[in-house]
Amino acid sequence: MESLILSLLIFFPLLGAILVALVPSNQHSTIKGVSLIVSIITMILSFAVYSWFDEVATGMQFEVNYSWVTSLGINYHLGIDGISLLLLVLTTILTVLCIISSWNSVTKGVKGYFVSMLLLSTGMLGVFCALDLFLFYVFWEVMLVPMYFLIGVWGGPRRVYAAIKFVLFTMFGSLLMLVALLYIYFQYQAFSGEYTFDLLKIMGMPIANQAQLWLFGAFALAFAIKVPLWPLHTWLPDAHVQAPTAGSVILAGVLLKMGTYGFIRICLPLFPDATITYMPWICVLAIIAIIYGALVSMVQKDIKSLVAFSSVSHMGFVMLGLFALNMQGMQGAVLQMINHGVSTGALFLIVGMIYERRHTRMIADFGGIAKVMPVFSAFFMIVTLSSIGLPFTNGFVGEFLILLGAFKANYIYGVVAASGVILAACYMLWMYQRVIFGRVTHEENKKLTDLTGREKLVLIPLVILIFWIGIYPKPFLRRIEPAVKVVLSQVSRASTVQLNEKFELEPVPVYGETGEVLEKTLTDNTGANR
Amino acid sequence: MDFQLPEYNLQLMLPEIVLFVWALVVLSFDLATKRKSGSAVGYLAMAGVLITGIVLAFTGHGQGFGQMFVADSMAVFFKMIFLCAAFMAIGSSFGITKDKIVNHRGEFLGLMLFSTVGMMFLASSNELLSLYVGLELTTIPLFALAAFFKDDKLSVEAGIKYLVVGAFSSALLLYGISFLYGLSGSTDLLLMRLNLAASALMDYPKVAMVFVLATITILAGLGFKLALPPFHQWAPDVYQGAPTPVTAFLSVASKAAGLVAFAKIMVIGLFAYYDPFVAPIDWGMLVGIMAGSAMIVGNVLAVRQTNMKRMLAYSSIAHAGYIMVGMLAMNELGLASVGFYMFAYMFANMGIFAVVALIEERTGSAEIPDYGGFSKSSPFLAVSMTIMLLSLTGIPPLAGFFGKFYVFAAAIRQAGSDPVHQWMYWLVGVGLLTSVVALYYYANVIRTMYFGAQTDVPRIEFTAPALTVILIGVIGTVVFGLMPNVVVEFASQIPISDMIILP
């Protein structure tokens, strides 16, 4: 069972999608019911994975490895560590919430919508589990198609433009990744005589410095478009704003994480030398993203695009933490990936709820909502504060760790990035104030109804997560820690080789093959910080 | 004088013979029933293709007629493609109405089968003259087929255009072949290569000029057949004007035949990269430029097309470019990737044309804007078309993606193997960038079908054969994308066939 569970987790939504596709398209409630049940079962499966996960073990767990295309050395290789684990759980939870939240808002093409949602879920779960580069690429591309339809069919007025832009940007990046992937494939063949795309095996291969720079660039471009790192973010506001609520939630909650996940899983371990070379550049870009995203958010008139630009800022924090290349920064980055999924997901859901009532998202059209929708305002408050990073909410823990890491890496990074937190407070609170407080200035707002039971059901789990991570993040951090250590050891491996090339070095243990625990104890200050 | 007859091994030619006889039967069946056979003759033709396929599967490998006729992995693989394409083209031709085909259904199908025989013969020939004969048998029926709708101006124009260009390119090809024969004294491909290399080693300056001339004329001839720029201008007009099943057949089977001819003459006969002992001339870079411009021209011009068939014509030019990238990789992945790409391309393209034919028969239009709201009126066809278009785009896990991946893999391997071939990275780069452009115009069709302005598209009824064709297309695209193993194993035999000896 344990060896099958990842495959089951990935392909159960696909099975569900086929099942839903077989239901006659006029039976809306059956379609919704089946999708909900499928997504809930998927969520329970992910909880099972979470509970069976060995939190102290290093290396990959629940590994399966079958040959797929034998003659080209392509394998069906799955496995997860703590980082993937949390993202898996986040994905399944958000999928369930999205399906509940779009219960009434989707009226046309109901069947296609839910089929797309389930297919998307398969693609995302696959990306987080794949340990074969080819398989990773396949899942990475697969989710483009349902997302294209989600934005293009059920989106806002400029949906077609946004959908095409989203797909073109992503495709551009991922094709470069394909070339880099093939290059590594043949390099590995020259190195060991074996054709393979196996990530864990390739990690053991030294790559020439110059080649690393190119390869890192190719992968990083694909991932940076997805994150999105400034200045590659221009698809994001369009896609987020035009997508239907559930699409935005999945986009912000999970798809963006695929970019940062790619950095952790592929870029850092495979190209350590290039990582260290590019580190200052990426940190600077991340800081620009933090400040730029925040400043642009401040002037948005539309709540949804405000949230969209705030994503740019928040993902900048994640990138900064990642490329601080130390324990705190990276742990914080991984945690912040989850936090951003929870709080921005919740923000998009909230925006969607009010849009369904008023059919406008302009800040100027609201004001005084607190009087008519007290429960809504309370939820909105909690989520806003979590997004800002108030202590006792999840955002605080993540951003604190990231800033700690950034200060350790270079105090200038820390100082400048910290101003992003202040800016976040400005734009979020200002927006909240204009929407919620004051007098009711528009007639239409007086008749707004407060949250229904279904909508509360959607928000409560996210609020619980916000406080859980904020008050007691230990269970999460404990699961992230071994995985982050491994990544850091991979980075430090090559940096020591680079620094001490002339000296005889003890062979560095390659992890993963048998999942053995690293013998080398690591300090959290790697060679990177020198 | 003691003259020994070569071993004929006639049984190797059995598939061709069966199909040829069957084509005659199809022709006469239509006559015997006083042209009232209707769709029965179509089923008869499809059965013939199926039977030939079965015969082919049991024939096995070997050489006949001395070494002139070879049945090796490459021949068998491509024959499968030809037969599949013929099957699907015939299947999608059932809907052609009586007044358009003017009661010549027997001739229509007979010609298509004759053309298929020519392709199969071409795939097996190991010698320049029989190769040329095979190529002519392939194209001459296609001239007539392209102009089959006599009352349709566009169709007639397509026929004439194709005839002129086809005849011209054949002449060029023959001209080049005559040079090669003059230089080497042999029409046998392998012998030719050895003799050429030997004569080049001995007195290069004398023969160099003729070599270059021969290579260029042959490249031009084959370039016309494959519609590689700058010899591509005929393709859009012909594709648009010809009856849709014929266009489908042209874009897949005839292209595959051109590729086989290219592989035989250029790859096997004249190894691409200069090598003092095997290859006298380096034509790799030249074809590289042609392939690169095919990808650019095909993809960029496809963006502006509003007619589906015209768009597919440009996209087929682009696909020929991708395939040539694989062809240029002279390693064990190269020809295998060409085979796989063609195989994947066949399912998707034939399936798409089947859908286009259905829509055209119902609404009389192949304009993309007229597909608006198509997803509402015929959801099954729209989903099928979407899957196949995505395969052409190269979205995993569909077969088209794997083909593209395979081709690029071969090219990158070649580029990495020798610093001299590093320009192949640029070719791969062009391929990738243009793939993004391709995504745009394929997605545009999907966009129109799903999100476009609602036009009054009637529900499209389909006949059983058309449904079969579309199902084959979709299932092939999906199954060989998820499980490419079988075909990859088969395709990777191609470069180690009897007659291919790569240095």
- Residue B428 near chain A (CB below 8 Å): yes
Burial of A441 (0-12, 13-18, 19+ CB in 10 A): exposed
pLDDT of residue A279: 86
Lowest mean pLDDT among A17-31, A129-143, A462-476, B128-142: A17-31
Mean pLDDT of chain A: 83
Please give the Cα distance from B47 to B232 (Å, whole number). Answer: 35
Contact B447 A141 (CB under 8 A): no
Sign of CA dihedral B280, B286, B292, B293: negative
Contact (CB, 8 A) for A213 and B469 = no
Q: Is residue B451 part of a domain?
A: yes
Q: Are A231 and A168 in contact (CB under 8 A)?
A: no
| Measured CA distances, B79 to B49, B345, B365 (Å) | 11, 15, 33
Residues of A in contact with B408 (CB under 8 A): 178-179, 182
Q: Compute the nearest-CA separation of B473 from chain A (Å).
A: 19
Using the Cβ of A211 and the Cβ atoms of chain B, whether some distance falls under 8 Å is answered with: no
Which tokens belong to A398? 């993540």
Q: What is the pLDDT of residue A508?
A: 44
How many CB atoms sit inside 10 A of residue A217's CB? 17
* A59-63, A189-193, B442-446 — most confident range: B442-446
Q: What is the pLDDT of residues A447-460, one digit of tens each?
A: 778 888 888 888 88
- Note whether B436 contacts A: Cβ–Cβ < 8 A: yes
**Residue from B341, B334, B363, B499 nearest B424 by CA:** B334
Q: Which structural domain range is residue B257 located in?
A: 10-499
What residues does A61 pair with on adjacent strands? A80
As a whole number, mean pLDDT of residues A291-313 equals 88
Give the integer Cα–Cα distance in Å for B129 and B127. Answer: 6
Q: Which residues of B touch A159 (CB under 8 A)?
A: 451
Q: What is the mean pLDDT of residues A79-108?
A: 87
pLDDT of residue A82: 86
Write down how long chain A is: 530
Distance (Å) from the alpha carbon of B119 to chain A's nearest alpha carbon: 29
CB within 8 Å: B428 and A179: yes
Structural tokens at position A482 = 């071994």
Residue of B nearest to A152 (CA): B451
Residue A488 in contact with residue A269, Cβ under 8 Å?
A: no
Chain A hits for B485, CB-CB cut-off 8 Å, are: 68-71
DSSP string covering A304-338: HHHHHHHHHHHHHHHHHHHHT-SHHHHHHHHHHHH
B314 band by pLDDT with thresholds 50, 70 and 90:
very high
- Closest by CA to A105, choosing from A344, A351, A300, is A351
Q: How far apart are the first and last CA of chain B?
A: 37
Q: Which residue has the higher pLDDT, A511 or B318?
A: B318
Separation of first and last alpha carbons in chain A: 46
Q: Is the peptide bond before B6 cis (omega within 30 degrees of 0)?
A: no
Check residue B500 and give its pLDDT: 56
- What is the number of domains present in chain B? 1
Q: What is the pLDDT of residue A526?
A: 41
Which of A53-62, A313-322, B382-391 is predicted with the least confidence, judged by mean pLDDT? A53-62
How much is the average pLDDT of B241-268? 90
For A325-338, write each residue's pLDDT tens digit.
888 888 899 999 99
pLDDT at B275: 65
User: Choosing among B426, B451, B477, B478, which should be mutated to test the A contact, i.e. which has the most A CBs within 10 A?
Assistant: B451
Among the listed residues B70, B57, B85, the one whose alpha carbon sits nearest the alpha carbon of residue B13: B70
pLDDT at A529 over 60: no
Partner-chain residue, chosen from B396, B436, B488, that has the shortest CB–CB distance to A69: B488
Tell me if B5 is assigned to some domain.
no
The two tokens of residue B123 are 């795939």
The answer, for B485 touching chain A at a CB cutoff of 8 Å, is yes
The DSSP result for A177-217, as a single string, is HHHHHHHHHHHHHHHHS----BHHHHTTS---HHHHHHHHH
Residue A519 is predicted with a pLDDT of 35
Position B457 pLDDT exceeds 50: yes
Cβ atoms < 10 Å from Cβ of A505:
11
Farthest CA pair distance, chain B: 80
Query: What are the respective helix, strand and coil percentages of chain B, to the nearest 5?
Result: 75, 5, 20
How far is it, in rounded angstroms, from Cα B494 to Cα A467?
62
- In angstroms, the separation between the Cα of residue B188 and the nearest Cα of chain A is 33
Q: How is B443-480 classified by DSSP, letter by letter?
A: HHHHHHHHHSPPP-PPPPP--HHHHHHHHHHHHHHHHH
Q: Pick the residue with more confidence: B175 or A277?
A: B175
Concatenate the DSSP letters of all residues of A336-379 into one string: HHHHHHHHHHHHHHHHHHHHHHHS--BGGG---HHHH-HHHHHH
A167: nearest CB among B408, B433, B439: B439
Residues A485 and A523: beta-carbon distance below 8 Å? no
pLDDT in tens, A185-199: 888 888 888 888 888
H or E segment and range at residue A13: helix A5-22
Q: Which of B402, B412, B474 to mutate to test the interface with A (most CBs of A within 10 A)?
A: B412
Dist CA A485 CA A415 (whole Å): 26
| pLDDT(B318) > 90 | yes
* Mean confidence (pLDDT) of chain B: 86
pLDDT band at residue B17 under the 50/70/90 scheme: very high
Q: What is the pLDDT of residues B337-372, one digit of tens each?
A: 999 999 999 999 999 999 998 888 888 788 888 888
A208 shares contact with chain B (CB less than 8 Å): no
Count the helices and strands in chain A (H runs, E runs): 22, 2
| CA–CA distance, B33 with B56 (Å, rounded to integer) | 30
Backbone angles phi, psi at A208, to 5 degrees: -60, 150
- B82-105 mean pLDDT: 82
Q: Assess if residue B319 is contained within a domain.
A: yes
The closest alpha carbon to A308, from A282, A347, A261, A336, belongs to A347
Which stretch, A259-263, B449-453, B459-463, has highest mean pLDDT?
A259-263
Asked if B325 has any chain A CB less than 8 Å from its own CB, the reply is no
A-to-B residue pairs, Cβ atoms closer than 8 angstroms: 79
- Choose, out of A11, A18, A20, A72, the residue to mutate when testing the contact with B (most B CBs < 10 Å): A72
CB contact under 8 A, A152 and B447: yes
β-partners of residue B70 are B63
Q: Any chain B CB within 8 A of the CB of A69?
A: yes
Judging contacts by C-beta atoms under 8 Å, the chain A residues touching residue B413 are 182, 186
Q: What is the pLDDT of residue B293?
A: 93
pLDDT for position B53 = 93
Among A253, A232, A229, smallest CA distance to A323 is for: A229
Please give the share of chain A, as a percent, with pLDDT higher than 70: 93
**Residue with structure tokens 């004088």?**
B1
* Six-digit token string for B25: 């039967």
Q: Is the pTM of this model over 0.90?
A: no
Torsion of CA B418, B419, B423, B425, to 10 degrees: 70
pLDDT of B502 reads: 53
Nearest to B477 by CA among B406, B407, B392: B392
Residue A503 has pLDDT above 60, yes or no: no
Question: Are the beta carbons of A179 and B435 separated by less than 8 Å?
Answer: no
Nearest to A179 among B395, B412, B450 (CB): B412
Structure-token match 């000896």, residue found? B501
Residue B200 has pLDDT above 80, yes or no: no
Predicted pLDDT of residue A502: 37
CB-based contact A185 B492, cutoff 8 Å: no
Q: What is the pLDDT of residues B224-251, one digit of tens each?
A: 989 998 888 899 999 998 999 999 999 9
B1, part of any domain: no
A186 Cβ under 8 Å from any chain B Cβ: yes
* B393, B405, B492: best to mutate for the A interface, most A CBs within 10 A: B405
Residues B293-315, mean pLDDT to the nearest whole number = 91
Which residues are CB-neighbours of A446 under 8 A, at least 6 positions away? A372, A440
ipTM of the complex in this document = 0.83
Cross-chain CB nearest to B492 (options A25, A71, A148): A71
For residue A494, what pLDDT is reported? 63
Element (H, E) at B69: strand B69-71
Mean pLDDT along residues A216-237? 87
Tell me which residue in B412, B451, B484 faces A153 most closely, judged by beta carbons: B451
Residue B119 has pLDDT above 90, yes or no: yes
Please tell me the distance from the alpha carbon of residue A508 to that of residue A491, in angstroms, as a whole number: 12
